Amino acid sequence: MRIKDLIRRIERTAPPRHAAGWDNCGPQIAGTALDCARLAVALDPLPGIVEEALDWGAECILTHHPLLLAPRLPDRLDDYHRVLSLVLGRGAWLYAAHTSLDVQAKGPVSHLAESLELTSRRVIEPVKTARAVLLRLGLEGAEARDAALSRLSGMPEILSVEPSGARSLDAACFDEDREALLAACAGQKGEPPRVLSARLESPSRDIGFGLVGNLPEPLPFAVFAGLLATVVERDFWTLAGTIPETVARVGYCTGSGADLAPAAFAMGADVYLTGDVKYHQALSLDGGLVIDLGHFRLEETMMRVFADALRGELAPTGLEVKYFFGGDPFSVYRPGR
């Protein structure tokens, strides 16, 4: 698979234009490889993981966390210098999908909402509202129309698609996915189809940080905690706030999301799940319970979900996708045990 096509596919799920202004998403290290037969996916671009991925034969490494948030010279021997040496020495690519992935409520970040079967989901901190657009596309003939119809029917970004005539079809997508839709319908010379008409449609969707939603039914806290333990692979949590008798509505944000706790509680959450809760954030809680599940665990699972999706979609192209596991830097020590 061409590297440029692989990056285009990654960015369909995590468009860099949606990243936070302080972030560094996109290519971290440009490689000389033009094609990719093996894609490595990981949470962090640590030297050990990068070396293992390159030894496996990866031409491209996709991580969640960037190599650096701000560029600097490799002026000292550290992990940054080591990763640069490893990746540049193999001609490989390093790509980071950080907040560009975090804000996609329909993407891998929804793994916890899916596992808990949350309904009536809402984004806690929207940064943009995407509108749906219905495009009528003019194509070269019935054969080109049917081919485009087949391709669009298999794309997750497409909300609906149907023929509208012998040489045209109607396809709906969110406005930021318009380019991907047109590219999928390109003719033999790579030219996009003619857009005969376009109009805004419902629905719309919020792009932003955090999710809140309802459990299928209210649960006593102990029962909810038991359910949570089956979907979060970590054997210790930190709690702050008041434990509710019953949990009906749950909010969460992967990574460092403690700042969103007040907004989640204002939206009716009984518990809020995140990582990296600080002392003064815990002190300032006014109602509700925050459960710190760990930055690593929530995002490690998210990236595994992303890798699984890419593997399933790209397998027909011959591209191999392998997830490289990291390790939680935190553990519990119990003196005398």
Q: Which residue has the tokens 């079809």?
A: 169
Is residue 330 included in any domain, yes or no?
no
Domain that holds residue 219: 108-126+207-296
User: For 158-173, what is the mean pLDDT?
Assistant: 91
What DSSP letter does each residue of 172-199 carry, written as one string?
EEEGGGHHHHHHHT--TTSPPPEEEEEE
pLDDT at 203: 76
Report residue 194 as tokens: 């003619």
- Is the domain of 42 the same as that of 53? yes
On average, the pLDDT of the chain sits at 94
pLDDT at 214 over 90: yes
Strand partners, 27: 95
- Is the domain of 14 the same as that of 115? no
pLDDT at 311 over 90: yes
Task: Report the domain count for the chain.
Answer: 3
Ramachandran region of residue 218, left (φ > 0), alpha (ψ -120 to 50) or beta?
beta
| pLDDT tens per residue, range 236-255 | 999 999 999 999 999 999 99
CATH number, position 57: 3.40.1390.30
